Structure 1
Amino acid sequence: MKSSAFVYPWDVNGDPEAAGRIAGLGVQQVTLASAYHSTRALTPRHPRHRIVTASHAAALYPVDERWEGRRLWPYTAGDWAPGDAYGEAADALAGAGLDVHTWVVLAHNSRMGEEFPETSVVNAYGDRYPWAPCIAQPDTRAYLVELAAEAAVRPGADGTELESLGWYGLAHLHAHDKTAGVALGDAGQYLMSLCFCPSCGDGYAQQGLDPQELAVAVRRALEPVWRGEAPAGGWEAVEKLLGGELATATRAWRDSVARSLQTEAVTAVRSAAPEGFRIVLHADPVSYHCGANAGVDPGHILSVADGVVVPCAAGPGLLTPFADRGVEGSVLAANFTVVSGMGGRPAELGADIARAVELGATEVRLYHAGLASDEDLSLVTQTLARLG
């Protein structure tokens, strides 16, 4: 079974042993960030640093002339990834015998939201989420599609993994986050992630809704959540709070926006890529879910892309809806966290992979070769050696 480890350029550049060490894990591929959001990352083995602070979302390579004259364009990285940081790392990893695929983060960009606040998701209370570009806005969609094509198809890359290609909402790993005081549940997360920017207002109107009346209804629906009375369950809980008719109309709008963006972005990458280039999405099989693993319709996305990478940190159950709708030859990659300090279970990786294979997984992703401790990586190496 093919396995791939996630890597940042700063894990490799400046460390002459990094590429060989990653190849020594027993993986055949690396998923290397080419466009990434802001982060603070540990580099436990690097000879020059231990902490890398990427202060804003950026392209980790020199962008080309396609962006000239555009209002929205990819930011240049700072000293955490200077020049063609992606290209330098990709060359080293390929030199160690690894297939290199790009890792492209799309609708997750706090600096864009700060400099162009009108691009952000706006909740029913009027609060903006600067980390979450609204994917219904034409300029934002054009930016995301162009970024997908450019950042995915880098020299020497055999494929790409597109992250955050869909709605981003309330949930976000933000600095000093203080949003967990009330348990929102699936329903509260959905209602707090609904966008009320002008573009979304027009979209709700197309569904026969008055946007202002809908915002009032959403705020009213959230009242029991703030009292600590959020109903359990998934979509049924949303319908219970908001009402079935309103809930269905909002989901119809948001699902159509996400589906069309996903189709458009994959098509743009396909047009820019050489034959045989593989395009997969980080995806959640529940279409109304938001975040890095964008909510998708499994049947639709497997008819458009070459496959999906599915989060399996909490177990491999999310693989099943994709396996049930699978297209022959589709990639169904189970993504396991192997950093024990981030809740990963590297000691259980063998059993987790076996269960994922039973549910239809065709490949494995390991998060994350640069962040994990030596002990975590040793356990990964032993497991992959046993699996052959």
Structure 2
Amino acid sequence: MRAAAFLYPWDVVGDPDAPARLAELGVQQVTLAAAYHSTRALTPRHPRHRIVTARHSAVLYPPDPDRWAGRALRPYAQDWVAEPDPFGTAARALAAVGLQVHSWVVLAHNSRLGADHPSSVVRNAYGDRYPWAPCIARPEVRDYLVRLAAEAAVRPGARGVELESCGWYGLAHLHGHDKLAGVRLGGAAEYLMSVCCCRVCLDGYAELGLDGAELTAAVRRALAPVWAGAAVPDGGGRAGEWAAVEELLGPDVAGAVRAWRDRAAGEVQRAVVRAVRDAAPDGFRVLLHADPAPHRCGPDAGVDPAAVWTFADGVVVRCAGGAAARAAALGPFAPRPVGTTVAANLTVVAGMGGAPDRLAADAAHAAALGADELRLYHAGLATAADLAAVRGALRALNRSAGGRAQGSGADPAAAC
């Protein structure tokens, strides 16, 4: 299977050995961050540092001032990599050893943007704002996302893009010093805490016959047992999760909320992909980090698993939690047009819950479920032992594919 590893530019900039080390893994592609959220990242092999602190969301290249002139919402520059164009420097070094580079662009997840422009973010039924989650239904946010995608995706040297957070973000957020675990929220309650009740969204619900005050009251009533410590319906799994939302809100209210949010997400996703295609050369691949349940929020934003093929070249699907979870994540994307891609995203950092020692078996299972590519999270964060396991697994997969191809008379290079 074609395999790609996720990477940050700071994993390469200043480390002359990094490109060859990546090539030796057996991957064909690096998915390199061009626009990314705040993070504190380990760099276990870098000759100059061990920790990189990206203090806020930023683009990892010099943004075009003309593109952003006169706009309040605009990307932030970075200053934690001593390089004017970290993406470009890293991309050239990776291409020099034969690796194809695709950009990795995080869109609707930006805490600094939300802090600076509080009216632009998701606002829950209690009036609390989520600064990390721009409301994608707002016109100014949509304009920002479309412009950012076109600029950050089509960097010199990039052959494609993978768009993360291309849809609704909500309550869930890997936040510093998080204190949300005191009350256990299941999937349905987390969704209700993610429903946006900003003025634009309330007007959108009203267009569909749902009064804003009625909605916020319904959400609060549904969540009241959670705060009292009672168990609430959760359903389990994507379909059961949505059934639990309908039970909590009532099918009519839930349906109106879902209709507005699905419409907003679909419009943003299509507009973003169209903007990238308009800016990109022929053959430039556009993939979305996606969840097959349209109501899901987060970095793998919910999509319609049938409609996504009408505008995107493929999806990157998080495959965590074992065989059953992997089947549930990949299965809905299985019937797809020829020439499209389903990439199984597997964590290979043992310290982050990954299983690099099971990579070959997990990849084979993903392939049986319809995945034709792998994404490995994350080559820069992995230990030497993790990377050794990845190397061995990819070699085993290539040998297996070559054997099957020779047995069938096919070209081994095209076997998987």
Is 1:247 equivalent to 2:257 in the alignment? no
Aligned to 1:308: 315
Query: How far did 1:329 drift?
Result: 1.0
TM-score (norm 1): 0.99
SS at 2:306's partner residue?
helix
TM-score (norm 2): 0.92
Which SS does the other structure have where 1:193 is aligned?
Answer: coil
Secondary structure of residue in 2 paired with 1:387: helix
Deviation at 1:81, TM superposition (A): 6.0
Provide the secondary structure at the position in 2 that maps to 1:221: helix
Q: Which amino acid aligns with 1:354?
A: A
Residues 300 and 318 of structure 2 are in contact (CA less than 8 Å); yes or no, is this contact kept in structure 1? yes
Alignment-mate amino acid for residue 356 of structure 1: A
Question: Counterpart of 2:404?
Answer: none
Alignment-derived partner of residue 408 in structure 2? none
Counterpart residue number, 1:329: 339
Aligned-residue RMSD, C-alpha:
0.8
SS at match of 1:6: strand
The equivalent of 1:105 in structure 2 is: 106
Return the alpha-carbon distance in structure 2 between the equivalents of residues 210 and 306 of structure 1.
38
Q: Provide the residue aligned with 1:174 in structure 2.
A: 175
1:361 equivalent to 2:368? Answer no
Contact 1:338 1:346 in 2 (8 A): yes
1:80 shift after superposition = 3.3
Question: Which residue in 2 is equivalent to 1:266?
Answer: 273
Matching residue's letter, 2:131 = P
3-state DSSP class of the match of 1:251?
helix
Cα offset, 1:69, TM superposition: 1.2
Q: What does residue 374 of structure 1 align with?
A: 384
State the distance in 2 between where 1:358 and 1:83 align.
44
CA distance in 1, matches of 2:82, 2:371: 33
Distance 2:97 2:53 in 1: 27
Match of 2:294 among 276, 284, 287: 287
1:182 and 1:228 in contact (8 A); partners too: no
Amino acid at match of 1:230: V
Hey, what does 1:40 align to over in structure 2?
40
1:58 aligned partner: 58
1:197 counterpart residue number: 198
Q: Which amino acid is 1:361 matched to?
A: A
- Counterpart amino acid of 2:289? H
Distance in 1 of aligned mates of 2:83 and 2:214: 48
Aligned partner of residue 157 in structure 2, secondary structure: coil
**SS of equivalent residue, structure 2 residue 167:** coil
Letter in 1 for 2:273: V
Partner amino acid, structure 2, of 1:144: L
User: What is residue 220 of structure 2 aligned with on the other side?
Assistant: 219
Amino acid at match of 1:229: A
Equivalent residue number for residue 20 of structure 1: 20
Once the two structures are superposed, what CA deviation does each residue of 1:162-188 show, in whole Å capped at 9, x if it has no partner? 000000000000001111222211110
Q: Distance in 1 between matches of 2:339 and 2:82?
A: 35
Q: How far apart are the structure 1 equivalents of 2:151 and 2:341? A: 22
Answer yes or no: is 1:297 the counterpart of 2:304.
yes
Q: Which of 342-351 and 81-90 deviates more?
A: 81-90
The one-letter code matched in structure 1 to 2:306 is G
Q: Which deviations, in whole Å up to 9, do the C-alpha atoms of 1:12-52 show, x marking residues without a partner? A: 00000001101110000000000000000000000111010
Amino acid in the other structure paired with 1:17: D
SS in structure 2 of the partner of residue 46 of structure 1 = coil
CA distance, structure 2, for counterparts of residue 137 and residue 171 of structure 1: 20
The answer for the alignment partner of 1:232 in structure 2 is 234
Is 1:319 paired with 2:330? yes
Q: What is the CA deviation profile of residues 309-358 of structure 1, one whole-angstrom value per residue up to 9, with x for unaligned ones? A: 0000224221110113x111111000000000000000000110010000
Query: Percent of counterpart pairs with the same letter?
Result: 63
CA–CA separation in structure 2 for the residues paired with 1:189 and 1:81 = 39
Question: What code does the residue aligned with 1:100 have?
Answer: V
Count of aligned positions: 387
Q: Does residue 392 of structure 2 align to residue 385 of structure 1?
A: no
- Summarize the Cα distance change of 1:228–1:181 in structure 2 as closer, same or farther, 3 Å threshold: farther
1:82 shift after superposition: 3.8
Q: Secondary structure of 2:334's partner?
A: helix
Q: Which amino acid aligns with 1:269?
A: V
Match of 2:357 among 309, 334, 347: 347
Q: Deviations over 1:45-96 (max 9, x none)?
A: 0011101000010010001121111111110012236410000000000011
**Contact 2:74 2:144 (C-alpha < 8 Å) held by counterparts:** yes
User: Partners of 1:255 and 1:379 in 2: how far apart?
Assistant: 40
Task: Please say if residues 53 and 80 of structure 2, whose CA atoms lie closer than 8 Å, have aligned partners that are also in contact.
Answer: no
Residues 62-141 of structure 1 correspond to what in structure 2 (within 5 A)?
Answer: 62-64=62-64, 65-80=66-81, 82-141=83-142
Letter in 2 for 1:366: L
Q: In 2, distance between residues paired with 1:11 and 1:291?
A: 25
Q: Is contact 2:316-2:342 (8 Å) kept?
A: yes
Corresponding residue SS for 1:24? helix
Does the aligned pair in 1 maintain the 2:52–2:80 contact within 8 Å? no
Distance in 1 between the 2:348 and 2:48 partners?
24
